[in-house]
Each structure stands twice: as C-alpha cells, then as structure tokens.
Amino acid sequence: MPSKTAKILILGGGFGGLFTALDLPGAGEITLVSDEDHFTFKPMLYEYLSGEVAAWHIAPNFSELLDDVKIVRGDVSSIKLENRSVSIEGRQAPLTYDVLVLALGTTTNYSGVEGAEEFTLPFRTISDANHLRRRMTETLDRIQVDAAPQDTREALTFVVVGGGASGVELSTKMSDLLRDAVKRRALRGEPRVIIVEMTDRLVPGMGDEIREYVERELDRHRIEVHTRTRVARVSKTGLTLEHNGRETEIAAAGVVWVAGVRMNPLIEKLDVEKDKRGLILVEPTLQVRGHQNAFALGDIAFYPDVAPTLSGTAQLALQQAHLCARNVRAFLNGERLTTKHFVELGEALSLGTEHAAVLSAGKVMAGPLARQARFAMYTARLPTWHHRLRVGASWFFEGTEPRPLQPLGF
Ligand SMILES: Cc1cc2nc3c(=O)[nH]c(=O)nc-3n(C[C@H](O)[C@H](O)[C@H](O)COP(=O)(O)OP(=O)(O)OC[C@H]3O[C@@H](n4cnc5c(N)ncnc54)[C@H](O)[C@@H]3O)c2cc1C
C-alpha cells in the first residue's frame, strides 16, 4: 500500500493516542477520534482542582498540538476489525482505515456498589475536577459564619474512596483547599476529609519509604484513614461503611470515587484475544494478536515484559506511543517491526498544595522542593516543545499558587 495515502485511524486522544499521532507526521492520512476536544495530562488533575495550574496548561486542545491530523470529535460506538471500519455515534458513514491504533483507556470501576455510580463524583477529567471544586465551594457557601465548630466539621465532610496514589493526592489537595477556605471565611472548626481503602495499606505497590512519608503527610493534613473498610452503599447524603462486619453511616457533602478502573466497554465487546482482566493481548510490537494492521497500547493492552508497577500508567502509555508510531511506519513501509523494553521513569506524588514526594532511582525526595521537582518533571512530559515552553514560562513567571475556593459569584 502506498504509505503516504494510507489511512491511519487512532482511537483515543490520551497518552497513548495523542503521543502516537505526534510521532507520525507524514506517515499517511491520519485521523484521531476522541470524545473530547483536548488532551488531559491526568497526573496534574489535582493541581488543576486546586488552581495551581490552569486548564490550558494541562488540557491543551488537539488543534494546538497536531498539524495535518484530522480530528473527529465523537463517541466511538463500534469497532469492526473484519471490515476495517469504526462507527461514531451520530455519524452515518463509518470511518475506514488501513491501520488502526486502539488507545481508548479505561473508565471508573464502581464494582457494583449500590448507589456509587449515581451519587459519587468521578475524578478523571477536567469537567470532573470542575464539578468537585464547585461542590466544595457550594458546601462552604452554605455554612453560616457563626456555625459551631462541630457543625462546620459535619457540613464539610468529604470522603475519598480508594487509597491508591489518586486517593492520597486528591484528599491532601482537598484538605488544603478546604482548610484555606475555612480560614479565609473566618469560620470556626475544620473540614473532615476521609479516605476509605479496602486493603490493609495505602498506596499499595509503592515502597515502604514513600508510604511512611505519605502516612506522615496524611497525619499532618488530619485526614482520617479507614483501611480494611468496604463501602457498602452510597446515597445522596452520604455512605455506609463496613469494617469487621459492622456498618457505620457517614453523612457527606461529597463522595469522590477513585477506587479502581474498569476496561473500556468498547474493548470488552471487541472479539480479540485478551488476558483474564480483559486487556488486549498484544505482540511485543504492539500489534493486536491475529490482526497485523491493528495496534493497541496504554491501559487497554497487556504487553509482555512490563513490570506490574508500570502497567496502567501514563509513563507506560507514553513510552509505548513512540514504539507504536515507529511500528506503524515500519508496517506501512514493509519494513521489520521492532520491540522495546519499557522502564520506570520515577514516581511523583502531590501531597497537598505545598508538598510532594518524588521517587527516583530508589530514592525518595520529599517536601516543598519535591513539589518543584514534580513540576519540572511533568513539564518535560507535556506534549510538544512549543507547549512545554509556554507552560514552563507561565509557571516560572506567573507562579503556581493555588486558587482559593472563593464564594461563587466572585
Ligand atoms: C486522576 C488521575 C491521575 C493519574 N496520575 C497518574 C500519574 O501520576 N502517573 C501515571 O503514570 N499515571 C497516572 N494516571 C494513569 C494514566 O493517566 C493512564 O495510565 C493513562 O492516561 C493511560 O493512557 P491511555 O492512552 O491508555 O488512556 P487515556 O489517557 O485515558 O486516553 C483514552 C482516551 O480515549 C477517550 N475515549 C474513551 N472512550 C472513548 C470513546 N468511546 N470514543 C471516543 N473517545 C474515547 C478518552 O476520553 C481519553 O481521551 C492517572 C490517572 C488519573 C485518572
């Protein structure tokens, strides 16, 4: 097939899809399909919630990042590998392709908990962060200035379900934002932020050194941690926890659900070889088994030879995207496809608006300096040089101060 006119269809504009597209200029007629008009650098969604960064920093529009790539905004509704076609909701003619790149990511896993999908707030997108920020602000706005400390605490109870990195990063940011707002509004009392985790420890999969630091920070932020605790059900006004067979009800102004991920429903329906968690089995070249012209990467793909701690991470999807683009080109040019060993690029946890912890080469750096290091590390991973430079300059010259939860209407 003449490679310059080959149709390359990329599904998903996250770490896997966008970074593949960025590495493919001139490889063919490229189309990227996404249900959003922008990329989201999810590891910094917590900083967006706190206002330390703006939407344009971490969620630039595809049109600003990609030249010569056709962007189709819409929901993919079906993928037919045998016909080489993909349908988009509300669009009559399906899109056809010569080469397909699947990078559709995962969704929130509510694990069948009663009321969870209906009443909790997810935290995966810019709009999720906006909703949570608004919920916190509206809750603060309803508290009377002369409220008793206990009433303030009850009104300002927020629960984060899931004690992984997301739960820790989110709860510390929420705690700092709420505490700052209580002070600014001269309210009496303090917020109550709770983490609920089903296993016996927080941040499973991370080393003991970083966990010790995380625990100290949670303590400093006065976050209440409930391990070995299951959410039995969620309602409009709160949730019921179960620990050691005993149930406790907690009234909450908001419950945020960051307890695990579920395979994208489109991938669940796709008839290809998968592992027992539903991840697509790919060859070391990222080709979907039995489908040479289809590639899969990121959270939906099971790649042999990947450390368990790397799977389901942006750093893996990012590295795979470079290999994917290289192999798409090789496939179209009739050349030999290659493989790659993916490495850990270091981990960084945001811990409130002033601190962070960075784990690199087995060493933990923590505190305000680690926060700066985290910003520097993530600037380098943003898409395109041009965007990195603009964002880097903005953070350097305009600063990264959090934006207080001002009363609505200000
Ligand atoms: C809040 C948060 C914080 C995180 N922090 C970190 C971190 O610090 N470090 C780290 O390594 N990883 C982190 N992760 C995980 C990381 O973001 C994912 O591993 C990574 O995004 C996977 O890339 P992907 O391309 O497979 O999927 P995604 O980046 O999720 O991209 C999938 C894209 O497909 C789109 N899509 C899905 N379904 C459809 C459809 N039907 N039609 C059209 N478009 C569709 C989605 O909107 C999305 O844009 C975090 C995740 C979250 C949610």
**pLDDT tens digits, 187-230:** 999 999 999 999 999 998 777 888 888 999 999 999 999 999 99
Predicted pLDDT of residue 149: 97
Q: Which atom of ligand 1 is nearest to the CA of 124?
A: 53
The residue whose CA is least distant from atom 51 of ligand 1 is 42
In order, the DSSP letters of 152-210 are HHHHTEEEEE--SHHHHHHHHHHHHHHHHHHHHTT-SS--EEEEE-SSSSSSTTS-HHH
Predicted pLDDT of residue 344: 83
Predicted pLDDT of residue 2: 54
Region 81-91: what's the mean pLDDT? Answer: 95
386 Cβ partners below 8 Å, 6+ apart? Answer: none
Distance CA 238, CA 30 (A): 47
310 Cβ partners below 8 Å, 6+ apart? Answer: 316, 342, 344
Closest C-alpha to 12, from 210, 346, 300: 300
Distance CA 12, CA 360 (A): 30
Q: Which atom of ligand 1 is nearest to the CA of 43?
A: 5
Rounded to 5°, the CA angle 118-120-124 comes to 110
Ligand 1: residues whose CB is within 6 Å?
Answer: 12-17, 33-36, 42-43, 45, 75-76, 103-105, 123-124, 166, 264, 266, 298-299, 312-315, 317
pLDDT grade for 3, boundaries at 50, 70 and 90: low
The residue whose CA is least distant from atom 2 of ligand 1 is 42
Predicted pLDDT of residue 1: 58
The residue to mutate among 42, 286, 316, having the most atoms of ligand 1 within 8 angstroms of its beta carbon, is: 42
Is residue 293 helix, strand or coil? strand
**pLDDT tens digits, 332-390:** 999 999 999 998 888 889 999 999 999 877 788 899 999 999 999 999 999 999 999 99
Do residues 66 and 19 make contact, with C-beta atoms less than 8 angstroms apart? Answer: no
Q: Which atom of ligand 1 is nearest to the CA of 312?
A: 19
The residue to mutate among 313, 320, 342, having the most atoms of ligand 1 within 8 angstroms of its beta carbon, is: 313
**pLDDT tens digits, 96-125:** 999 999 999 999 999 999 999 999 999 999
Region 243-251: what's the mean pLDDT? Answer: 96
**130 CB neighbour count, 10 Å cutoff:** 13
CA–centroid distance, residue 188 to ligand 1 (Å)? 39
The residue whose CA is least distant from atom 8 of ligand 1 is 43
Predicted pLDDT of residue 124: 97
The position carrying tokens 């310059």 is 4
Region 38-47: what's the mean pLDDT? Answer: 98
Q: Does the pLDDT at position 307 exceed 90? A: no
Q: Does the pLDDT at position 162 exceed 90? A: yes
Predicted pLDDT of residue 207: 77
CA–centroid distance, residue 65 to ligand 1 (Å)? 18
CA–centroid distance, residue 42 to ligand 1 (Å)? 7
Bridge partners for 38 per DSSP:
61
Region 122-130: what's the mean pLDDT? Answer: 98
CA–centroid distance, residue 14 to ligand 1 (Å)? 5
Q: For 112, phi and psi rounded to 5 degrees? A: 70, 15
Predicted pLDDT of residue 409: 63
Q: Which atom of ligand 1 is nearest to the CA of 297?
A: 26
**pLDDT tens digits, 55-80:** 999 999 999 999 999 999 999 999 99
The residue whose CA is least distant from atom 15 of ligand 1 is 313
Output the pTM of the full model. Answer: 0.95
Strands 291-296, 287-288: pairing is antiparallel
The residue whose CA is least distant from atom 5 of ligand 1 is 43
Rg for the chain (alpha carbons), in Å? 22
